[in-house]
Amino acid sequence: MPKSVRRKLEQVLTAGWRDSRSRGWFQQHWLDLPFELGRRLAPLIGAGADDVIFCDNTSINLFKMLAAALALRSERRFILTESANFGTDLYIAEALCERSGGRHAMRYAADAVDLSAMIDSETAVVYLSLVDYRDSRRHDLAAITRAAHAQGALVVWDLSHAAGAVAIDLLTADVDFAVGCGYKYLCGGPGAPAFLFVHPRWQQDAVSIIPGWMGHADMLAFEPTYRPAAGIRRFLTGTSPVLANTIALAALEIWAEIEPAALFAKHRGLSELLVQLIDRELAPFGAKLASPRDYDQRGGHIALAVNNAETVLDQLLQRGVQCSLRKPQLIRFGLAPLGLRYVDVWDGIATIKDILQHPH
Ligand SMILES: Cc1ncc(COP(=O)(O)O)c(C=O)c1O
């Protein structure tokens, strides 16, 4: 939690809510927060300052981005994804297909090799999570985007387990649409708004499937008919959460002070250390690295395969080692470079080793 959060919230509650009340939307620039957050995130994901906004949650943004991409390729049939994609990503794509009146259908690849071979002239959208939420396997963003474009398909990437941990260059890779969580490596706080990215070439043609008043061309004219705003603004829906945006801004202000390359180098350093220590300290007790060994094939976290993972996880949490379980036997360690220190990795490993050495 950024130290400035309390102060910033206090300011919004007193100078904002108490004193300005609804005038706060203008006096305190609350309407600009979705854009301000986007401008601050942009350098971390290789986007232009006007190509990103924070709004809604990741699921809703996936729905908006995928629907927009499909509408731009409406004559094509398939959404190509992986069966291992995160639940919400799959549910949303399946729901869009079901409601398309037979126009669109899903295709599921079993793995990355399979996937490249499946992109063809009937593919409307290649729709993937950059990093697997279980084992942290990372796709090749640029290569898959290239392969999709070579067949005339568009791409929608979910960057949730990568943004703020590993270097991403959306414009260089020519990505069409992307989304991601604000509450993971970006440290935007519990329930932080999510972000969405639209490539400038689509910002005038892509339409929002949730045409809310905040995305209207003239929001305060209260027209009876929807007209999309110019640019990325059209992907706003309704009133945004000012308190959550304020908290997220406290974190993104820190990001703005940091050279992204230095931070990604730190993430790499933390990850390589963890892998090394897993091999050296934990392997003798039956715990194994369950993520790819090559850094460029991994995302933000590292997964460890252990027996009795649920019990080990409980003990780790009790002893202050932050991690999460993906059943049946994976324990995930998210290496957030903004706050985590090398010594934390050493201490965490010592605790895991102790638990594995003395099972009870
Ligand atoms: C890859 C991925 N996509 C989407 C989500 C869902 O995000 P939200 O709860 O913001 O809709 C998650 C949540 O952990 C996730 O891991």
Q: Which of 54, 63, 127, 183 is catalytic?
A: 183
Distance 62 CA to ligand 1 centre (A): 9
Give the CA dihedral 13, 17, 23, 29, nearest 10 degrees.
Answer: 30
CB of 203 closer than 6 A to ligand 1? no
Would you call 266 a catalytic residue per the annotation? no
CB of 135 closer than 6 A to ligand 1? no
Q: Which two tokens stand for residue 348?
A: 């965490």
Number of residues assigned to the chain: 360
More confident of the two residues 266 and 111 = 266
Q: Are 241 and 261 in contact (CB under 8 A)?
A: no
Q: Which two tokens stand for residue 18?
A: 């108490």
CB of 129 closer than 6 A to ligand 1? yes
pLDDT over 90 (residue 309): yes
Strand partners, 79: 106, 125
Which residues 6+ apart lie within 8 Å of 335 measured at CB?
A: 165, 267, 270, 271, 274, 300, 301, 302, 345
Question: Which of 13-17, 112-116, 293-297, 348-352 is the least confident region?
Answer: 112-116
For 173-223, what is each residue's pLDDT tens digit? 999 999 999 999 999 999 999 999 999 999 999 999 999 999 999 999 999
For 53-96, what is each residue's pLDDT tens digit? 999 999 999 999 999 999 999 999 999 999 999 999 999 999 99
* Average of per-residue pLDDT across 126-141: 97
pLDDT over 80 (residue 228): yes
Q: Which two tokens stand for residue 252?
A: 């993104």
Q: Given this model, what pLDDT does residue 111 score?
A: 87
Q: Given this model, what pLDDT does residue 151 score?
A: 98
What atom in ligand 1 is closest to the CA of residue 59? 11
CB of 89 closer than 6 A to ligand 1? yes
Whole-number average pLDDT of the chain = 96
What atom in ligand 1 is closest to the CA of residue 182? 10
pLDDT over 80 (residue 285): yes
For 116-131, what is each residue's pLDDT tens digit? 999 999 999 999 999 9
Give the percent of the chain with pLDDT over 90. Answer: 95
Would you call 64 a catalytic residue per the annotation? no
CA distance 322 to 83: 28
CB of 88 closer than 6 A to ligand 1? yes
pLDDT over 80 (residue 258): yes
Q: Given this model, what pLDDT does residue 112 score?
A: 85
Would you call 158 a catalytic residue per the annotation? yes
Q: Which two tokens stand for residue 5?
A: 């959060």
For 142-153, what is each residue's pLDDT tens digit? 999 999 999 999
Q: Given this model, what pLDDT does residue 293 score?
A: 97
CB of 59 closer than 6 A to ligand 1? yes
Would you call 184 a catalytic residue per the annotation? yes
CA distance 215 to 209: 11
Which residues 6+ apart lie within 8 Å of 13 measured at CB?
A: none
Q: Given this model, what pLDDT does residue 256 score?
A: 87
Q: Given this model, what pLDDT does residue 327 score?
A: 87
Q: Which of 54, 86, 177, 185 is catalytic?
A: 86
pLDDT over 80 (residue 360): no
Distance 34 CA to ligand 1 centre (A): 19
Q: Given this model, what pLDDT does residue 189 score?
A: 96
CB of 151 closer than 6 A to ligand 1? no
Separation of CA 269 from chain center: 22
Would you call 86 a catalytic residue per the annotation? yes
Strand partners, 282: none
For 313-326, what is each residue's pLDDT tens digit? 999 999 999 999 99
